[in-house]
Amino acid sequence: MLKYSIEWSYQTKKKVQTALTSDYLSLNETILIAEDMLQTGRVKELSFTSEDGQSWNLKELKKLRDIVKDEPHNVVAYFDGGFHKNTKLAGFGAVVYYTQNGNRHRIRMNERANEIESNNEAEYAAFAYLVDILEEFGITRQEVLFKGDSQVVLNQLSGEWPCYEPEFNLWLDRIENKLKKLRITPKYEAISRKENTEADRLATQALEGIDINSKMTMNEDVEENE
């Protein structure tokens, strides 16, 4: 979920005022602390800013809490792209873990595509495919941790590396626009291919013509990316 900071004007018993800003807090923590602060009677102004730069008031945050309480959260999303140079075929693998209604769930999906020109483009297309899946399952308005073994894609999306290739910039724009539309705050983590075996397997199966589209509620003994 997105986190929120509290900005407030505080007044002491001797009428000395100062402006203060909190660290970023979860939605529930923000509302709880704000309500407690208001009970002191010393808060003159109170406002909130989410990590994506939006401004909120307390009434809006409470309404948002009611909306998102049953929505997917604590999302970790894996992606991988496979590519056959001779056939120009690409395979995309995507795995999404999230919590909803107190249970941990897993989505596993893949897709095959053509007219891809390189392995790096296949990785970009796989990431875009993953974001489309998030939209399909109603995962919006929160922070999402994206994991993959493509240093190029993750570092260019995060802005750590420049992107000079026009075809990759098209993918970057598409992905960033969709994330903005979904109000998703992305966090990126590069992992080894060994740690990305589940998404890699799905991409390989897509290239082999094996379609996977599954969703399951995980048991306590099932680990993520197992």
pLDDT in tens, 74-108: 899 999 999 998 888 999 999 999 998 888 999 99
- In the chain, the largest separation of any two C-alpha atoms, in whole Å, equals 78
- The position carrying tokens 């919590």 is 99
Confidence of residue 161 (pLDDT cuts 50, 70, 90): very high
Euclidean distance between CA atoms 111 and 125, whole angstroms:
10
Confidence of residue 221 (pLDDT cuts 50, 70, 90): very low
Residues 112-154 pLDDT 10s:
999 899 999 999 999 999 999 999 999 998 889 999 999 999 9
Q: Which two tokens stand for residue 2?
A: 């997105």
The residues, ordered by sequence, that sit 6+ positions from 170 with a Cβ below 8 Å of its Cβ are: none
| Half-sphere exposure of residue 29: CA atoms within 13 angstroms, side-chain side | 12
The residues, ordered by sequence, that sit 6+ positions from 125 with a Cβ below 8 Å of its Cβ are: 81, 90, 92, 113, 116, 171
Q: Say yes or no to pLDDT of 29 above 90.
A: yes
Euclidean distance between CA atoms 11 and 14, whole angstroms:
8
pLDDT for residue 189: 97
Residues 30-76 pLDDT 10s:
999 999 999 988 887 899 999 888 899 999 999 888 877 778 888 99
Q: How many CB atoms lie within 10 A of CB 225?
A: 16
For residues 73 and 100, the answer to whether their CB atoms sit within 8 Å is: yes
Domains annotated on the chain, with CATH: 4-68 (no CATH), 73-217 (3.30.420.10)
Euclidean distance between CA atoms 69 and 67, whole angstroms:
6
How far CA 54 is from CA of 3, 50, 162, in Å, comes to 11, 5, 27
Q: How confident is the model over 186-213, as a mean pLDDT?
A: 97
Can you say whether residue 206 is alpha, beta or left, with left for phi > 0 and alpha for psi between -120 and 50 degrees?
Answer: alpha
Euclidean distance between CA atoms 157 and 85, whole angstroms:
24
Name the more confident of 13 and 206. 206
